[in-house]
Amino acid sequence: RKLKNIRRRVRILEKRLDKLDKKRTKIKEGLTNIENITDVMSKRLEELKNLEEASVRRISTIREEIKRFITLTNELENKIRSLKAKADEEASVEYVKGKEERSKIVEAIRILDEEIEKLNYEINKVKDVERKLLVDKELNENRLRELRNKISGQPLNVSEEIREPMEKYLSILKNELEKVKEVNMLAIKQYEQEIDFYKNALERINELEEERRSIQEFMEDIERRKREAFLDGLSKINSYFSTFFNKMTGGEGWLQPEDPDNPLETGLNVYVKFPGKEARVISGVSGGEKSVAALCLIFAMQKLFPAAFYIFDEPDAHLDYVNIERMTDLLKEVSRESQIIVISLRDIVVSKADKVIGVYVKKGSSRFMEMPSGKALEEIAVAG
């Protein structure tokens, strides 16, 4: 009987041992599964860390590229302003030169007028002498005719005392007449030369005046066309900006020159009026509101000057959920005309993207992979 009890106890112990073996086996299997899951999670965690590091580096690179593009844009704008200033300066220099040349010619004409006046005075003096001599000649000729008539047919006996003074007087008259003729011809020739020079100078003055008017009209036309083009572009951008701002916020937004009478030489103020708030200049609103206004302004300029593609680096960083959703809708609308590349860590932006590209690091190198579109980041991570 004692042996029977021992055998029974042995069987009970064997059953317990068998159960313990089964439990131990299950525990080992569970530990193995846990270890496998831990390994998978560790690898996934490492991949996510690498992806995060790659994304950070990529974002940094893109930010540097954006800064470079901004710097390049500023340089081009400065170069354009420099060229415009140079053109204005050259036009101004030409105008000053023309004005100085005109002043010189006017002064030369004044001197010529004085010379002509002097010549006219001398000519009049010569003419007076000529007239006097001609009168004297005519009187003497009349006296000679009278004498001839009186002694006609009779020999003329003239004493030497009378003949000699008369011959001398006639000789003097002849010499004076010859001198008058010579002086008269020279004066007329000089007068004609001075008149020709005067006419040429007057024509040159008229030409310079015409050139000055032409330059002035050209400069005024350029300024007018610049102003018209600027105001036309500003009007269109203003309209687009107002439309986009209203779609995104339900408020009002507009652009206004600092000096409406001189829009080309002054800056622009951006005014925004969010629902329930007063209208304010953009410099006086919060960071998130500035981001909204900046995005709407970019969209407005894109409508007027469309580009092939746009890169936005976390444009949703300072926006709340509602504005992010509205911004995403506007991005979808703009993407019908241009390609939009957005760097974002927000689920709503990623879920509405046509394509999602993930960046991760593997063996020290950045890797890219196309990820499922139409899903949030968390769903993509779980699916991966």
302 is a domain residue? no
User: Which is more confidently placed, 80 or 211?
Assistant: 211
151 is a domain residue? yes
Of the listed ranges 182-186, 205-209, 295-299, 362-366, the least confidently predicted one is 182-186
**Four-residue CA torsion sign, 290, 295, 298, 303:** negative
What pTM did the predictor assign? 0.47
- Give me the DSSP letters along 184-242: HHHHHHHHHHHHHHHHHHHHHHHHHHHHHHHHHHHHHHHHHHHHHHHHHHHHHHHHHHH
In the predicted model, what is the mean pLDDT of residues 175-199? Answer: 56
| Res 243: pLDDT | 92
* Averaged pLDDT score across all residues of the chain: 74
pLDDT cut 70: percent of the chain above it: 59
Is the per-residue pLDDT at 186 higher than 60? no
Of the listed ranges 61-65, 316-320, 337-341, the least confidently predicted one is 61-65
In this predicted model, what pLDDT tens digit does every residue of 200-219 receive, in sequence order?
Answer: 666 766 676 677 677 778 77
In the predicted model, what is the mean pLDDT of residues 80-94? Answer: 65
User: Which is more confidently placed, 333 or 151?
Assistant: 333
In this predicted model, what pLDDT tens digit does every residue of 226-237 receive, in sequence order?
Answer: 888 888 888 999
Is the per-residue pLDDT at 360 higher than 90? no
Of the listed ranges 144-148, 259-263, 299-303, the least confidently predicted one is 144-148
34 is a domain residue? no
Range of the domain at 194: 98-225
| Res 204: pLDDT | 65
167 is a domain residue? yes
318 is a domain residue? no
User: Which is more confidently placed, 356 or 372?
Assistant: 356
Half-sphere exposure of 290 (CA within 13 A, CB side): 10
245 is a domain residue? no
User: Which is more confidently placed, 298 or 155?
Assistant: 298
49 is a domain residue? no
Confidence of residue 382 (pLDDT cuts 50, 70, 90): very low
102 is a domain residue? yes
Of the listed ranges 189-193, 265-269, 331-335, 343-347, the least confidently predicted one is 189-193
138 three-state secondary structure: helix
User: Which is more confidently placed, 159 or 320?
Assistant: 320
Q: How far is CA 250 from CA 104, 189, 316, 327, in A?
A: 67, 88, 18, 13
Q: How many domains does the chain have?
A: 1
In this predicted model, what pLDDT tens digit does every residue of 9-42 receive, in sequence order?
Answer: 777 877 888 888 788 888 787 777 777 777 777 7
In the predicted model, what is the mean pLDDT of residues 97-124? Answer: 65
Q: How far is CA 150 from CA 95, 147, 153, 158, 162, in A?
A: 80, 5, 9, 14, 17
| Res 374: pLDDT | 58
| Res 384: pLDDT | 47
